[in-house]
């Protein structure tokens, strides 16, 4: 090929670029969102390179156009998105063409495309939206039983790492989880300590997303733990709490005194229940001692059957003796109470 032909080829190539424009297609980014949350799908371009109003088209690979804006300013929204998509009109001049989808659902997942036509250049950026959802099975387990804790990622992304948090603290140890389709699961033997907000944190190449759900472990909620202490003075009334989770139907519920400090002739089963509401009595088995004696001091247990499982809680009643000192001050009689 001679010099003249080389020059003609070069000129033709330059003219072709100027006529057709160049196309820049970026590698798609990953966005993770919790079900029901609001999520921003990013699409940005340096503002200094924008010389005239661009035409913008956001679309879903399988569901078509979401939002389109012509250079003239006319807009179009897909019917299924019209109430949930927000567009950054005030940020278009700065090169921000991102959109926000409110109340994300499983139907929204998939590959999105942001196309920006700058007359002399067409830019396309792709965003993969993945949904995170936390679930439990059974959703309200009994204390001492097993529940399956699952974190679903739709569509699943190989190479992600998953960590669990309970009430905003890392849950240790981070036991090994099994992959089942589009979710990772682990089986936990739960107590009331596992009640609270569980958060699944998903990480992939520096991008993070998380979703949370509340786990309500059913059992004895008062006292909240074994060996709780209840204080009383001789001669005073006291309530020994034993409250099951609301809605639990308890059978064969009863009290027992364990390792008494001194012999007691009190029959715990004959003591009056603290609650007077018939509905509440199904889960509130607290008892009331109207006049405490020193012989009442000691360790107690309350238990009851729920289904095939027996739940038990222990507590310690601490009884203090009291002495009164009567004295006269400024013409009035006063009393000081000493606990010994």
pTM for this entry:
0.74
pLDDT at 270: 63
Q: In the structure encoding, which two tokens stand for residue 305, read together?
A: 């059957």
Distance of CA 96 to the CA centre of its chain: 31
24-78 tens-digit pLDDT: 555 478 999 999 999 999 988 877 677 778 889 999 999 999 988 888 888 888 8
Architecture of domain 22-130: Sandwich (2.60)
Q: What are the distances in angstroms from CA 331 to CA 326, 327, 334, 336, 337?
A: 13, 10, 10, 16, 20
The mean pLDDT of 66-93, rounded to a whole number, is 80
Is residue 17 classed as helix, strand or coil in its secondary structure?
A: helix
Burial of 224 (0-12, 13-18, 19+ CB in 10 A): middle
Q: Which CATH number fits domain 131-215: 3.40.50.150, 3.40.50.970, 2.60.40.10, 2.60.120.260?
A: 2.60.40.10
238-250 tens-digit pLDDT: 999 999 988 787 8
Burial of 196 (0-12, 13-18, 19+ CB in 10 A): middle
Q: Do domains 22-130 and 220-322 have the same CATH topology?
A: yes
The mean pLDDT of 308-315, rounded to a whole number, is 91
Every domain of the chain and the residues it spans: 22-130, 131-215, 220-322
| Better-scored residue on pLDDT, 21 or 223 | 223
The mean pLDDT of 303-326, rounded to a whole number, is 81
**pLDDT of 169 over the 90 cut:** yes
As a residue count, the chain comes to 340
pLDDT at 18: 35
Residue with tokens 């569980």: 198
Beta strands in 52-157 (DSSP E): 55-60, 64-69, 75-77, 85-86, 99-101, 110-117, 121-137, 146-154
Beta bridge partners of 179: 184
What is the percent of the chain where pLDDT is above 90? 40
Residue with tokens 């390179």: 49
Mean pLDDT in the chain? 81
- Give, for 326, the enclosing helix (H) or strand (E): strand 322-329
What is the percent of the chain where pLDDT is above 70? 79
The DSSP secondary structure of 198-238, one letter per residue, reads EEEEEEETTEEEEEEEEE--BSEEESSSTTEEEEEETTS-E
Q: How far apart are CA 323 and CA 232, in angstroms?
A: 14
pLDDT at 176: 57
Q: How far apart are CA 99 and CA 97, in angstroms?
A: 7
State the virtual CA torsion across 321, 322, 323, 324 in degrees, nearest 10.
Answer: -170
- Residue 274: closest CA among 261, 264, 262, 288: 288
Contact 150, 202 (CB under 8 A): no
Q: Does domain 220-322 correspond to CATH entry 3.40.1190.20? A: no
């Amino acid at each position: 090929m001679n010099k003249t032909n080389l020059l003609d080829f070069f000129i033709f190539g330059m003219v072709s670029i100027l006529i057709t424009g160049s196309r820049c297609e970026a590698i798609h980014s990953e966005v993770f969102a919790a079900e029901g949350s609001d999520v921003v799908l990013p699409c940005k371009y340096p503002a200094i390179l924008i010389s005239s109003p661009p035409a913008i088209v956001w679309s879903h690979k399988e569901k078509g156009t979401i939002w389109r804006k012509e250079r003239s300013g006319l807009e179009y929204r897909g019917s299924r998105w019209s109430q949930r998509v927000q567009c950054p009109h005030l940020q278009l001049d700065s090169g921000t063409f991102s959109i926000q989808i409110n109340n994300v659902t499983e139907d929204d997942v998939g590959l999105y495309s942001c196309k920006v036509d700058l007359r002399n250049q067409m830019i396309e950026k792709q965003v993969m939206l993945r949904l995170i959802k936390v679930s439990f099975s059974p959703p309200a387990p009994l204390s001492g039983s097993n529940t399956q804790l699952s974190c679903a990622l739709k569509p699943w992304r190989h190479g992600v790492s998953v960590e669990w948090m309970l009430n905003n603290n890392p849950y240790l140890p981070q036991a090994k989880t099994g992959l089942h389709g589009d979710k990772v699961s682990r089986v936990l033997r739960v107590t009331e300590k596992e009640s609270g907000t569980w958060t699944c944190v998903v990480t992939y190449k520096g991008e993070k997303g998380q979703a949370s759900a509340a786990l309500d472990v059913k059992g004895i909620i008062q006292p909240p733990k074994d060996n709780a202490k209840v204080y009383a003075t001789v001669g005073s009334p006291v309530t020994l709490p034993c409250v099951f989770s609301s809605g639990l139907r308890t059978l064969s519920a009863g009290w027992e005194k364990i390792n008494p400090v001194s012999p007691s002739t009190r029959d715990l089963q004959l003591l009056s229940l603290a609650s007077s509401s018939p509905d509440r009595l199904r889960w509130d088995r607290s008892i009331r001692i109207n006049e405490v004696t020193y012989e009442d001091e000691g360790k107690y247990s309350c238990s009851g059957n729920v289904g095939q499982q027996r739940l038990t809680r222990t507590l310690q009643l601490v009884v203090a003796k009291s002495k009164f000192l009567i004295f006269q001050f400024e013409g009035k009689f006063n009393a000081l109470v000493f606990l010994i």
